[in-house]
């Protein structure tokens, strides 16, 4: 397959160079089955699993037999905490549990590759040469995203994932106040994160780190 070529922009939004994407990662293939598995495992691992109900043995009270066994004409019952009674225990109710599980590394890598290829396919992957902020000002970071035309049209929700090589303190402080923009280290990103954002902006160094991680 012929390598995909994308432009590289500077912090002023001008195209200064081009880059050929590594074909071992950006092969244009989107494996939806791998993406589904990666999203499912991510969401399962986010679950707290704290839902709990009490069985008849855990509900307080109910020690005394409500009425005698025979002679009343009513059905026999041994406890007022019977599951059939109001304020009784719950049968087969939820109890605290761990929903988390793991996926093979190959499937996780395949899912991330597929998500990145999907972004490239719809021109939603923007490569930034580098970013250096002299001070942690949100206005400066917002200006860069505006020049890159990363923000959506008016009326549409902002959803940008910014992946950098090694985000410094100024960058973290500047980006955290921009609604709809999330910052992460490129080598630590995952399929769900890429899929959850409309546009991905990645620095050139961050792209190299990500390719090194995925081409293994």
Q: Is the pLDDT of residue 165 over 80?
A: yes
pLDDT digits (tens, 9 = 90+) for 84-141: 999 999 999 999 999 999 999 999 999 999 999 999 999 999 999 988 888 888 998 8
Cα 132-159-99 angle, rounded to 5 deg? 110
To the nearest whole percent, how much of the chain has pLDDT over 70?
A: 97
Q: Which domains does the chain have, with CATH numbers?
A: 5-47+103-214 (3.40.1370.10), 56-98 (no CATH)
pLDDT digits (tens, 9 = 90+) for 2-48: 888 999 999 888 989 999 999 999 999 999 999 999 999 999 999 99
Tell me the whole-structure pTM to 2 decimals.
Answer: 0.85
Using CA atoms, how far apart are residues 98 and 186, in angstroms rounded to an integer?
Answer: 29
- What rounded mean pLDDT belongs to the chain? 92
Using CA atoms, how far apart are residues 215 and 179, in angstroms rounded to an integer?
Answer: 33
What is the 8-class DSSP label of residue 46?
H
Smallest Cα–Cα separation from 86: which of 97, 74, 77, 95? 77
Q: Is the pLDDT of residue 154 over 80?
A: no
pLDDT digits (tens, 9 = 90+) for 49-68: 999 999 999 999 989 999 99
Helix, strand, coil abundance in the chain, percent, nearest 5:
30, 15, 55
The pLDDT value recorded for residue 155 is 61
User: 37 and 82 in contact (C-beta within 8 Å)?
Assistant: no
């Amino acid at each position: 397959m012929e390598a995909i070529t994308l432009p590289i922009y500077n912090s002023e939004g001008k195209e200064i160079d081009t880059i050929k994407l590594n074909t071992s990662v950006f092969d244009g293939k989107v494996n939806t089955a791998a993406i589904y598995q990666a999203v499912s495992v991510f969401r399962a691992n986010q679950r707290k699993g704290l839902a709990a109900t009490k069985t008849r043995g855990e509900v307080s009270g109910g020690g005394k037999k409500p009425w005698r066994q025979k002679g009343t004409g009513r059905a026999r019952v041994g406890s007022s905490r019977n599951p059939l009674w109001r304020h009784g225990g719950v049968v087969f109710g939820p109890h605290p549990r761990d929903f988390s599980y793991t996926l093979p590394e190959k499937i996780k890598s395949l899912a991330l590759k597929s998500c990145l290829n999907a972004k490239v396919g719809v021109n939603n992957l923007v490569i930034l040469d580098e970013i250096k902020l002299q001070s942690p000002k949100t206005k400066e970071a917002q200006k860069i995203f505006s020049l890159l035309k990363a923000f959506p049209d008016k009326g549409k929700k902002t959803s940008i994932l910014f992946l950098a090589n090694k985000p410094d303190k100024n960058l973290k402080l500047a980006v955290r106040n921009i609604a709809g923009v999330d910052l992460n280290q490129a080598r630590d990103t995952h399929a769900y994160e890429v899929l959850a954002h409309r546009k991905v902006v990645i620095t050139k160094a961050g792209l190299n780190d990500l390719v090194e991680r995925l081409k293994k």
